[in-house]
Chain A
């Protein structure tokens, strides 16, 4: 029995390798249905980035919106930023930013430097809203319908590929319905 303990590191290593190997052949975890889909967007009372005005959950209502979680410490967000600018320009879709665990000064500088695709940006400096949303990295993007219901969650950057493959069909179905 005791001897088995010493096999633990070896077995752990083999398991890690197996999981990684299997991972490469499994489905995309960003496609996994999120528990949040179909739920109401969590309530919040947080300041807006530039105006400082406190916004609540009702500000999201009335329109289909993309809600994009971003931060200046996140290099992937910078990469994604151009895509968001393009989407905003091409579709006119409302995009709302959540500035996640970041420095307000840096975030404002970022938007003035790279352009601002957001209708408004909610400041989640302590990451509380992020916890509600189950955010564990950045960026993440949600589709929220006019009633404030989360319709889709995407973890990782929005790029041309997943925009056409995943976002557009859902947005189309929402506008048709």
Chain B
């Protein structure tokens, strides 16, 4: 096809923007029509949700709840990274350690963080520590497991090359094992952040009285304000998207870009 490359590239960019926006608009229109046709007086239309968001923003609750949720996720997640990455690197490297701890990890891993909520309340009460603990539990396993796999799947040629250059143990760990594992560790971190964000909402519904999860359950209980319920859901979705986009930026560094599919 003898089409000028510049125009094609331009059209592609425009299309990649127009397509998702088009789908979004269709979705909102369909939602609006469905509420009107069904005649529901509880479930809100998109416009009512927008008004609800404005109301929350004006009261200062929106920012307060978003900050509260992000605060809990940041702490639980940071703890999970601080524990999971070193633990994963060590267990990936020392096969005896892996043999010893892996069965225990595999037993704890499938237990949903939601199942831990009663235990968290028992241990930490209705404080920030309860959701932070739950977020830590939810994200530490994906991070640990992907860090273990990252070390175990490292191409042996990098290790042999490094040994050839006479690296000390510490240098080998820092300059080769960590660097070779980083792309897969970042993928694990991305998955874990998604899980952490899912869990904070669930935890806030039960264990505390602030945050987006609390907003949803409170709006329903105190007067069936479904416009605010859906407003909370929209905020959760949007912030989840932003968090994922932020972590994706990590994958663009030259130091790790080699580890992802060729683009």
**Do A and B actually bind?**
no
A-contacting residues of B (Cβ < 8 Å)?
none
B-contacting residues of A (Cβ < 8 Å)?
none
